[in-house]
Structure 1
Amino acid sequence: MTLRDRVAVAGVGRTELSKNSGVSTLTLALRAIRAALDDAGLSLRDVDGVATHGVGDSAPAPVVAAALGIRDVAFMLNQSGGGGLSATVVGYAAAAIATGQAEVVVCWRAINARSEFRMGGTGRDAPPLAEFQYQVPYGYLAPPQQFAMLARELLDGGALDERVLGTVSVTQRANAARNPRAMLRTPLSLDDYLASPWVVEPLRLLDCCLETDAAVALVLTSAARARDLARPPVLIRAFATGGGDTLYSTRRTTLAPSAAALMAPRLFGAAGLRPEDIDVAELYDAFTPLVPLQLEDYGLCPPGGAAEFILAGQTAIGGRLPVNTHGGHLSEGYVHGLNHVAEAVDQLRGDAGDRQVAGARTALVSAQPGYVGGVTSALILGGSR
């Protein structure tokens, strides 16, 4: 059974993006869910499914379901894991609706990642990864350290240089300047990027995503029901997962291409589309090297052509394939991937204001491409306008 166009995103809700929300992750989740239901024109009485992911830093699905007053939860997804799972929350919820397990599912990610549980910060439980015991003695713990290894391989191999990484950061900041929700809106130049301090060489401060307190929620229901609701439905054309290797896998001799390269043919096949059919791409950008990597791994530019594609301005609004039109994790805020889905919905509804991509009908949304936790996922969404 195909998922294609059977389920739709009917509502989107967001809280403010900030460095200190002043409230719990449960409160953030409930505020975003309420906003998403209002956007869809639905009520709490309509909800019979809940779905989220987290790494011990959020309000779990059973707690949120109870707080919403859902007495008989027909579908519940409470995934333990990070950014590689961000698309699975939506994909699995869509599958539950398509197979009749639930009728209306709310998906969310709530995180106090600046004021409370910082990624890689102290005071956290060790992740349940066997290789972690081999990292701790060397102080190799935080995400910037991990992804610096990928950046070093790409730079040393000649696939990228600092101008390319800088252009990713500068271009996404220009997009964020058009986004009233974005945390960082001051324009950047390449000189600004080059002057930013090292975090873990070769990654500078402006190569790294923001630490953000926020929540984003989506309401999913059948495409047939969504057509009668308050907002234009955005259809889920395809969903796929992939992976199996991590940064430390003994099966890998190189870090590129990523797990997304293996998954991409299945994703596009499920959608009945080709990479050149994508109008806008919201690519997981915890760190700048992930953008050129995924452009090639998803076939969105020619093999070996990501650097030229980016430097030529093709990922800017008005370019061949606008990427991270909201500013992405680098400049809008880091809501662990779900804000990318919300931005794709805005684009396909025509709700993106000054950052709207003209004629956007199809969007690719990717999760972290599999390096941490060994899993990746992605969605292709289609507009109905």
Structure 2
Amino acid sequence: MATLKDATAIAGIGQTAFAKRLPESEKTLACRAILAALDDAGIAPSEVDGFASYTMEETDEVEVAKAIGAGDVTFFSKVGYGGGGSCATLGHLAAAVATGQASVGVAWRSRKRGSGPRPWKNTAVQLPTPAQWTRPYGLLRPADEIGMLARRYMHEYGATRDHLFNVALACRNRANQNPDAIMYDRPLTREMYMTSRWISEPLCLFDNCLETDGALACVIVSAERARDCRQKPVYLHSVAQGLPAQHHGMVNYWNDDPLTGPAWAAARQLWKQADFGPDDVHVAQIYDAFTPLVPLS
């Protein structure tokens, strides 16, 4: 079976600024990021015929396609959830390009979470199953669910808040080296971490990711076309989604081992289809929405 590397590549990337309370709408930010990615690849907007984004997005492919001046759109898809689900948008477009359903695909995300209320603040909304069984007991936000998972991890493996601080510090140190980062000039100390307010024990303020405004996008084309694009292409070797048996959101109550999750199912599929193994990887980008996710990964 051929791998994705034989067929598809990322030809261009684009993004807007990331900050608190940007004045532009999510649609405007999305279009700016997409146009920047197309310019990076040297591809005209009229050639775009495939789109992939999140179900969580306020923007949709119909409005985006009109706004950027896309041609006939022959493929579009939505990926459930958010955050770590971003890899799947690339997988959907790679499959579409590899099977001839599209020739130029665009994946994007545009959010203004730094400007408005969080979606979980509406606690009076009718609860779907299974949240009706958990929210009455205090699991209202993602932070609450990860806090519960973190407590189990600390119990099983002897992890302490110092271990979580090390993750937060590593992330902040990277931001302190990036002039475009919101935390560029705001170093973190152990005292700041240990004395910060609780968000959901054992998670304090600095165990949680920032909520920001901004957008980013990338362009997926065939490997053959990518060789003639403006930038050196990044080939897609393998992409996988994961949903293990009896999975329950961020906290896996029904699994024999609650510390296993979608990453386990995704990893098995990812490496099965890749043309190299974990030992060949020199750079790891681990989803760090909450500090416990890094050691747990």
Moved more, 116-125 or 8-17: 116-125
Percent identity between the aligned chains?
Answer: 39
Compute the displacement of 1:119 (Å).
4.6
Q: What is the aligned partner in structure 2 of residue 335 from structure 1? A: none
- Alpha-carbon distance change, 108 to 117 in structure 1, aligned in 2, over 3 angstroms: farther
| Whole-angstrom distance in 2 between the partners of 1:292 and 1:114 | 27
Compute the displacement of 1:26 (Å).
0.5
- Alpha-carbon distance change, 261 to 116 in structure 1, aligned in 2, over 3 angstroms: same
Q: Does structure 2 conserve the Cα–Cα contact (< 8 Å) formed by 1:15 and 1:32?
A: yes
SS at match of 1:284: coil
One-letter amino acid matched to 1:259: P
| Whole-angstrom distance in 2 between the partners of 1:150 and 1:216 | 30
Q: How many positions carry a matched residue from both structures?
A: 292
One-letter amino acid matched to 1:79: V
One-letter amino acid matched to 2:47: D
Moved more, 25-34 or 132-141: 132-141
The structure with higher relative contact order (CA 8 Å, sep 6+) is 2
One-letter amino acid matched to 2:35: R
One-letter amino acid matched to 2:166: T
Tell whether 2:270 aligns with 1:271. Answer: no
- Alpha-carbon distance change, 188 to 265 in structure 1, aligned in 2, over 3 angstroms: same
Q: What is the aligned partner in structure 2 of residue 53 from structure 1? A: 54
Structure 2 stretches of 5 or more lacking a match? none
Equivalent runs, 1:1-385 vs 2, <5 Å: 1-5=1-5, 6-55=7-56, 57-122=57-122, 129-185=128-184, 186-244=186-244, 245-246=247-248, 247=250, 251-294=254-297
Compute the displacement of 1:292 (Å).
0.9
| Whole-angstrom distance in 1 between the partners of 2:195 and 2:108 | 36
Structure 1 stretches of 5 or more lacking a match? 295-385
Normalising to structure 2: TM-score of the pair? Answer: 0.91
- Alpha-carbon distance change, 250 to 18 in structure 1, aligned in 2, over 3 angstroms: closer
- Alpha-carbon distance change, 250 to 155 in structure 1, aligned in 2, over 3 angstroms: closer
SS at match of 2:157: coil
Compute the displacement of 1:268 (Å).
1.7
| Whole-angstrom distance in 1 between the partners of 2:116 and 2:64 | 19
Q: Deviations over 1:118-165 (max 9, x none)?
A: 2523389667x5111223333421111111011100112234211111
One-letter amino acid matched to 2:287: Y
Normalising to structure 1: TM-score of the pair? Answer: 0.71
SS at match of 1:183: coil
* Structure with bigger gyration radius: 2
Q: Does structure 2 conserve the Cα–Cα contact (< 8 Å) formed by 1:119 and 1:142?
A: no
| Whole-angstrom distance in 2 between the partners of 1:233 and 1:276 | 23
- Alpha-carbon distance change, 131 to 248 in structure 1, aligned in 2, over 3 angstroms: farther
| Whole-angstrom distance in 1 between the partners of 2:227 and 2:126 | 45
